[in-house]
Structure 1
Amino acid sequence: MRELFTYNWQVRDEWFNWCAEQTLEELTRQRDGGVGSILQTLLHIIDVEVSWIRAVMGKPDVPIDSTEYRTLEEIRTLSQQLRPEIISYFDDDFFLVEKKKVYASCLMSRLTRRTVIAHAIVHEVHHIGQLSVWARQLNQSPVSANYIGRNL
């Protein structure tokens, strides 16, 4: 599972680089589908990832205030700052207790840690697909989502 987070982070970082070539107007323009804008989508990806992982870790959710992250660099920095906490989780005894149940308040149900982690991974992949659609609408090539060749 950790290598899939590494994959997501590599692809996300490539999207940050792609975004650096765009105007702020394009990054903040409200779009059909997804969460709204490209920057809002990237922030949403980060927020959901850390929320689910903190739930699995038994820690309280710390909602990300979108008004505090308005630029690409602020969102990129946030992404980098939150990764060590996630990495440390996988360095612990995750696989020894992966079937332990976690309460998901947003669903009002209990799920296994493995299910929650898998959902967090797939959630990002879903939104990366939306970013790819938007890139094509801008007549630009999207970031490759190919897993092969990433040396994970």
Structure 2
Amino acid sequence: MKHFFEYNWQKREEWFDWCEKLSEEQLWQERVGGVGSIGETLLHIVGVEYSWICDILEKTDEAVPRHSLAGIRTLSNELRPEIVAFLTTKYDPQKIVVDHGDRHTIDAILHHIIIHEIHHIGQLSVWARELHLAPISANYVREHFPSLEKYFEK
């Protein structure tokens, strides 16, 4: 499971880098599908990931305000240690978490977080092509990304 979080975090960083070449207008322009714009989609990915972890930890999360691209990257990096701390603890994957009256296992939530980001990265790829720009590769098999030690200390 940790490996897929690492993959998503690496791809997120690559998308942040990719977005640096966009104008503010391109970054925040309303688009068809998703949650609106490229910037809002990145913020949504970060916010949803953290919100679900807070649900698992039975911790209240605060609304994530709209930021600049640099602010979204910083927020992502600031929230990550808490997520890593959870993922590196022993937890019961079958423990039930109640979210707005719905019941989910921790295992199902973690899978959802991973799939959610991959889904939105697909949207970013479509929007990249609409801008006539090459998207970030989503090739999991051929990508060489850092070892788990980058995020998960032994």
**Is TM > 0.5 for Structure 1 vs Structure 2?**
yes
AA of the residue aligned to 2:87: F
List structure 1 runs of 4+ shifted beyond 4 angstroms.
Answer: none
Where structure 2 has 5 or more consecutive residues not aligned to the other structure, the ranges are: 148-154
1:133 paired residue among 100, 123, 126: 126
Q: Could you tell me which residue of structure 2 aligns to residue 114 of structure 1?
A: 107
How far apart in 1 are the matches of 2:61 and 2:105?
A: 18
How far apart in 2 are the matches of 1:59 and 1:121?
A: 20
How far apart in 2 are the matches of 1:2 and 1:127?
A: 19
Written as runs of structure 1 = structure 2, the 5 A alignment for 1:7-22 is 7-22=7-22
Q: Does 1:99 align with 2:110?
A: no
TM-score (normalised: structure 2): 0.91
Cα displacement (A) at 1:28: 0.8
CA RMSD of aligned residues (A): 1.0
Cα displacement (A) at 1:62: 1.9
SS at match of 1:136: helix
TM-score (normalised: structure 1): 0.92
How far apart in 1 are the matches of 2:52 and 2:144?
A: 25
AA of the residue aligned to 1:145: A
Aligned residues with identical type, % of pairs:
48
SS at match of 1:77: helix
Cα displacement (A) at 1:61: 2.2
Greater share of residues in helix: 1
Q: Could you tell me which residue of structure 2 aligns to residue 40 of structure 1?
A: 40
SS at match of 1:54: helix
SS at match of 1:111: strand
How far apart in 2 are the matches of 1:3 and 1:138?
A: 31
